[in-house]
């Protein structure tokens, strides 16, 4: 009787479909959790930075908007594309400035332990700023 149970187990394990299905479900669960807990926060932060840039446009964007009022339809569409590109560039620069500020230890932390930020923290800030920039480019 033990051999029949063992044969059943071996037959079950030899069929790849249940294993692949379980691995696939586990992978999807991990991906959804990662997207929800981490990536969505990065996307939201990038969107927030973009909104700040749009609320406080640069002089170049303001000038392009003024020109747009006197342009024909095709030219106005190209000006809109230029404005969007300038906003993305300004947003990426803002993200990079914020990431650079996070590289500098706060006065309180520097005075307590005297240690500089770890390489891991610096790399994490750089990776986060890159992901934010890529999310802006992917989600115009």
Question: For residue 114, what are the domain limits?
Answer: 39-138
Is residue 48 situated within a structural domain? yes
In a domain, 34, yes or no: no
| pLDDT score for 111 | 46
- Whether 4 is in a domain gets the answer no
Rounded-to-integer distance, Cα 79 and Cα 64, Å: 7
Task: Confirm whether 113 is domain-assigned.
Answer: yes
Residue 35 has pLDDT above 90, yes or no: no
32 lies in a domain?
Answer: no
| Band of pLDDT at residue 108, cut at 50, 70 and 90 | very low
Task: Give the closest residue to 18 by CA, choosing from 9, 7, 30.
Answer: 9
Domain total in the chain: 1
In this predicted structure, the answer to whether residue 119 has a pLDDT above a threshold of 70 is no
**Helix runs in the chain, H state only:** 2-14, 16-34, 40-55, 59-68, 73-103, 107-113, 119-138
Mean pLDDT across the chain, nearest whole number?
Answer: 79
116 confidence band (pLDDT: 50, 70, 90): low
CA angle 37, 133, 61 (to 5 degrees): 130
SS3 of residue 140 by DSSP: coil
- The answer to whether position 134 is within a domain reads yes
Domain-embedded: residue 81? yes
Residue 112 has pLDDT above 90, yes or no: no
Q: Is residue 22 part of a domain?
A: no
d(CA 35, CA 29): 10
């Amino acid at each position: 009787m033990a051999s029949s149970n063992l044969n059943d187990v071996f037959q079950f394990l030899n069929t790849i479909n249940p294993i692949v299905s379980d691995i696939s479900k586990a992978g999807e669960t991990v991906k959804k959790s990662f997207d929800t807990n981490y990536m969505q926060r990065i996307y939201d932060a990038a969107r927030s930075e973009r909104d700040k840039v749009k609320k406080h446009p640069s002089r170049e964007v303001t000038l392009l908007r003024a020109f747009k009022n006197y342009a024909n339809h095709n030219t106005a569409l190209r000006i809109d594309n230029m404005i969007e590109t300038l906003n993305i560039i300004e947003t990426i620069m803002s993200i990079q400035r914020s990431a650079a500020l996070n590289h500098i230890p706060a006065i309180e932390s520097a005075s307590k332990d005297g240690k500089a930020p770890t390489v891991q923290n610096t790399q994490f800030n750089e990776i986060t700023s890159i992901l934010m920039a890529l999310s802006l480019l992917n989600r115009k």
